[in-house]
Every structure is written in structure tokens, then in C-alpha cells.
Amino acid sequence: MKIRTGIGYDVHRLTQNRKLIIGGVNIPHTQGLQGHSDADVLTHAIMDALLGAAGLGDIGQHFPDSDNKYKDIPSLYMLADVGKLLAKEGWTISNIDSTIIVQAPKLAPYRGDMALNISKTLGIPPSAVNVKATTEEGLGFTGAGQGIAAQAVCLIIQ
């Protein structure tokens, strides 16, 4: 039996005239995240953690921003593809732990829906996905409200 861990990180700039999608949840806010897809920082960090753990590269290799088929695509669709790729390689996802770094809006009301979206997309129990959120007390680009970041770690078993 092989056991591996992976870590992922993603960040996107906040911008006008975009929906704020995190963990597949549309969150009411005055700004959204800039990116080629829906710019879902949480889902992107999770994808990178899973791909890294399996030794399968990163999301830029699998979903390049130069490919128009990924333009404005929901990141949960890409996460589903990552889950299928891991399963094809014989990997089972044991758990995912993640943190969203954001000054505003407050995400506590949405974290459960985010975890449920991710667990359903990957076909794993909701208890295997943990989503946390924190501020940076006004420090840095996230604290200044310029962007949102996310980190994720995962454990996979083969």
C-alpha cells in the first residue's frame, strides 16, 4: 500500500463584474475572482494538492489557461476530471483539509456547502472534506481585500 500527501495553493485577484465562486458556491459579494475559468481558488488548491500527491503534475498542465475550452468553466468540472484521473491511476482520496484566506466576505455560512460540493464531485464522504476560512487581520494582499488565497492538503492511498 502506498500513502501520499499533497499540498496545493492558489490565489486570484478580486475584480469587478465577476461572480465570486468558492468551492462551487456562488457567494454574494461586490467583487469576484479574476481568472480564465471561474477562478475558484479553493477548488484549484485542492486540484493541485491531489495532482501533486499522485505525482501527476499540476492544474496548469491539465487545464491550461491558453485553452479556450476552459474559459469560464466551473472549476468543479475540472475537479471531477482530476478525481477520475486519480481513480484511473488506482488512487483513493482519504481526506482533504483546506483553508481559504479572505478578509471579506465572511465565509462561515457557506463552508458546509463548499465541502459538500467537493465531496460529491469527488465521490468521497462529506466527512473527508474540511473547509476552514481565516483572515490575515488586514495584512498583505488578502487583508487589503485585493485577492483571495486558498491552501489545501490531502492524503491519498493506493
* Under 8 Å between Cβ of 129 and 96: yes
- Give pLDDT tens digits along the chain (158 positions): 999 999 999 999 999 999 999 999 999 999 999 999 999 999 999 999 999 999 999 999 999 999 999 999 999 999 999 999 999 999 999 999 999 999 999 999 999 999 999 999 999 999 999 999 999 999 999 999 999 999 999 999 99
For each of the domains in the chain, give its residue range(s) and CATH number, in order of start: 3-157 (3.30.1330.50)
pLDDT for the residue 32: 97
pTM: 0.97
pLDDT for the residue 10: 98
33 beta partners: 14
- In angstroms, the Cα distances linking 83 to 3, 50, 120 are 16, 8, 11
- In angstroms, the Cα distances linking 128 to 12, 49, 95 are 26, 14, 4
pLDDT for the residue 140: 93
pLDDT for the residue 101: 98
Q: How far apart are CA 152 and CA 158, in angstroms?
A: 20
Secondary structure E strands in the chain = 3-15, 20-22, 25-27, 32-33, 92-101, 129-134, 147-157
What's the half-sphere exposure (Cβ side, CA atoms, 13 Å) at 35? 30
